[in-house]
């Protein structure tokens, strides 16, 4: 593990009193990432894949180098890496494009654990195409299991769209087994890996995933850029997401020929600086070691969890979650009120439905609190979280509820 880890994150120079526990929403940014952004805008600033002059060539080379880093990071070919604005953009574009292959009577499998971006596109498509949307039954705890997946898998299943790790509860889906079962009936599997990419090794070849999406901003990288991985054979069959500059090879009056992968799916000028800087985040994760990151975060979560369980009147919804997040409520106190008290103590946690309202409905709670841990968090942060929750409980006990 790198020592003095907070030194790598400029955020703490101005916010050294802040306990940031909302990395599941967005992670803090590395100095190397910020420096890369500044370097591009100050010293280059040109477009990519267009100009033949030196600066444009250098920008293009640096942009494409990130594609190589991503391909190595998830173990795929470079032409299988498509750059998008992020996970939501990836999942929406893919669903809209793949809807061409959905016919009346086809079945689509999803779950109540999904982030809205993994769920809503298929709601819309299933209605428009008169396909059937099936939900994997959750366990009483709120997990997806292989046995429950089998209950909704049929010969009519065309698409399976599931989260790798729930962003609201942190439960990990047995995605490898599910992919194998789905392939046996000829279905394709789309994996939302936004909450997995910064915490565990993802090998798309080993998983045999058909499509997989994740975002830079949850991996200590810039906002506004992300990845859609797709198997080459499937991407070649898939219609382009958008039309415009640099995605077309030849344009005639009545037709066009798209470029080869991956450029067929990257119309227009991309977020160049952010994509270039994304590689710095991957370099950092590789240097520290993703298994080391996972262990550190898991140890912190276990430590905080044991202390939180001792607080009277607290309900924890994901005691066995694999991901480094704790989802909880304080009995009788609205989560937003608790979050406000924690904020006064300089502790930042998320309060709300976490863009996963079906999870909230499953829990029968309109809102929950979520504390999520990252590489820059410490045991002191855990202690401050617990102390702040106790302070919130004591504060509201002073009122006649």
Q: 200, 294 in Cβ contact below 8 A?
A: yes
* 3 DSSP assignment: S
Cα separation, 196 vs 172, in Å, equals 9
Cα separation, 218 vs 390, in Å, equals 29
Name the residue among 44, 48, 14, 19 with its Cα closest to residue 31.
Answer: 14
Instruction: Provide the 10 A C-beta neighbour count for residue 315.
Output: 13
Cα separation, 173 vs 169, in Å, equals 11
Name the phi and psi angles at 383, rounded to 5: -65, -40
Name the residue among 145, 89, 91, 90 with its Cα closest to residue 113.
Answer: 145
**Tokens matching residue 354:** 């976490």
**Tokens matching residue 364:** 């029968």
CA 23 vs. chain centroid, Å, equals 11
**Tokens matching residue 356:** 């996963």
Q: 335, 263 in Cβ contact below 8 A?
A: no
**Tokens matching residue 381:** 């942060």
Cα separation, 338 vs 180, in Å, equals 43
**Strand runs (DSSP E) across 112-194, as ranges?**
132-136, 157-163, 188-192
**Tokens matching residue 104:** 């009346």
CA 128 vs. chain centroid, Å, equals 27
**Tokens matching residue 130:** 């008169």
Q: Given 3-state DSSP classes, what are the helix, strand and coil percentages for the chain, each rounded to the nearest 5?
A: 45, 15, 40
**Tokens matching residue 270:** 């991309």
* Residue 76 designated active-site: no
Residues sharing a CB contact under 8 Å with residue 398, sequence separation 6 or more, in sequence order: none
Q: What residues are labeled active site?
A: 355
């Amino acid at each position: 593990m790198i020592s003095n880890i907070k030194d790598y994150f400029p955020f703490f120079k101005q916010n050294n009193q802040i306990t940031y526990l909302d990395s599941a929403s967005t992670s803090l940014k590395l100095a190397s990432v910020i420096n890369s952004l500044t370097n591009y805008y100050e010293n280059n600033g040109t477009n990519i894949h267009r100009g033949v002059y030196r600066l444009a060539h250098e920008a293009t080379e640096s942009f494409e180098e990130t594609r190589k880093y991503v391909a190595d990071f998830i173990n795929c070919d470079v032409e299988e890496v498509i750059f998008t604005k992020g996970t939501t953009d990836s999942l929406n574009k893919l669903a809209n494009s793949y809807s061409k292959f959905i016919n009346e009577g086809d079945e689509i499998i999803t779950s109540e654990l999904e982030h809205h971006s993994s769920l809503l596109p298929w709601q819309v498509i299933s209605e428009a195409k008169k396909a059937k949307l099936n939900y994997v039954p959750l366990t009483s705890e709120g997990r997806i299991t292989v046995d429950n997946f089998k209950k909704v898998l049929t010969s009519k299943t065309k698409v399976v769209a599931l989260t790798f790790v729930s962003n609201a509860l942190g439960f990990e889906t047995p995605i490898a087994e599910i992919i194998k079962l789905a392939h046996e009936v000829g279905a394709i599997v789309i994996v939302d890996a936004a909450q997995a990419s910064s915490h565990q090794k993802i090998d798309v070849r080993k998983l045999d995933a058909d499509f997989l999406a994740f975002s830079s901003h949850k991996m200590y990288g810039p906002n506004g850029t992300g990845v859609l991985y797709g198997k080459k054979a499937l991407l070649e069959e898939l219609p382009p997401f958008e039309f415009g500059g640099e995605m077309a090879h030849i344009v005639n009056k009545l037709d066009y020929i798209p470029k080869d992968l991956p450029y067929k799916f990257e119309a227009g000028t991309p977020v160049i600086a952010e994509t270039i800087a994304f590689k710095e985040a991957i370099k950092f994760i590789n240097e520290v070691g993703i298994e080391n990151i996972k262990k550190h975060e898991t140890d912190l979560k276990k430590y905080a969890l044991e202390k939180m369980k001792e607080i009277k009147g607290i309900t924890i919804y994901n005691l066995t979650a694999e991901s480094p997040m704790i989802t909880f409520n304080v009995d009788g106190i609205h989560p937003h009120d608790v979050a406000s008290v924690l904020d006064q103590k300089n502790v930042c946690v998320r309060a709300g439905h976490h863009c996963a309202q079906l999870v909230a409905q499953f829990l029968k709670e309109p809102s929950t609190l979520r504390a999520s841990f990252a590489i820059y968090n410490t045991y002191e942060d855990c202690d401050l979280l617990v102390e702040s929750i106790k302070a919130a409980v004591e504060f509201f006990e002073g009122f006649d509820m």
